[in-house]
Chains A and B, each alone.
Chain A
Amino acid sequence: DAGVTQSPTHLIKTRGQHVTLRCSPISGHKSVSWYQQVLGQGPQFIFQYYEKEERGRGNFPDRFSARQFPNYSSELNVNALLLGDSALYLCASSPVGDEQYFGPGTRLTVT
């Protein structure tokens, strides 16, 4: 079975731009979560979606938003990019939310 897939793998943007990251969960998983991992640190929780509804939100500004589609895939959007948004963005899927399996991540560089 395919694991969690994310696209793109790498992305370079300039300050002020907008970015959309995509995630496809493991087949049969209905929950998708997003995490930000800054170099040298553990992942930080951004959002969790379950059955297309937001179930949790971490301590991130409103520039960050997400949504989940009927096929359970998900998008993470970040507006007005800042240098500090440079990080590895991880998507995790889960059958119901607890046992989370991570994708390879999208490396975002903001210049």
Chain B
Amino acid sequence: GESVGLHLPTLSVQEGDNSIINCAYSNSASDYFIWYKQESGKGPQFIIDIRSNMDKRQGQRVTVLLNKTVKHLSLQIAATQPGDSAVYFCAENLPGGSNSGYALNFGKGTSLLVTP
């Protein structure tokens, strides 16, 4: 079946640098995407989302880029801090009909390690 995947399983960056986490999706019908951050022992924390009618969305220190042509999603974190160390997941909405029928398909995750 179709799935969401990540290019890099681990990413190590120095504090203050910018981080870029990439994600490929294969379901061309997906219309909604979310990035989550998960720290050890905790549930996924919503970071930012984007709908398929957009190609860029910015939040506080984070930017999500969507390239529908190549089915690619990326999360950019500016001025990465030690507190950003976590596993990051991209998730796509599995198309299913009514607006109440949402099921998220998650990738395997990328572990981000921020070193001082």
* Interface residues in chain A, defined as those with a beta carbon under 8 Å from any beta carbon in chain B: 4, 31, 33, 35, 40-45, 48, 50-51, 55-56, 58, 90, 92, 94, 96-105
Contact = CB atoms under 8 A, between A and B. Distances in A.
Contacts of A100: 34, 46, 102, 104
Size category of the B interface is 20 to 34
Contact of A33 (B42, B98, B103): B103
Contacts, number: 75
Interface of B: 32, 34, 36, 42-46, 49, 89, 91, 93-94, 96, 98-109
A97 B46 contact: no
A104 B42 contact: yes
Nearest to A42: B106
B103 A58 contact: yes
B99 A96 contact: yes
Contact of B44 (A31, A90, A99): A90
A97 B44 contact: no
Contacts of A4: 43
22 contacts: A33-B102, A41-B108, A42-B89, A42-B91, A42-B107, A42-B109, A43-B89, A48-B100, A48-B101, A50-B101, A51-B100, A55-B98, A55-B101, A56-B94, A56-B102, A96-B99, A97-B99, A97-B102, A99-B34, A100-B104, A101-B46, A105-B42
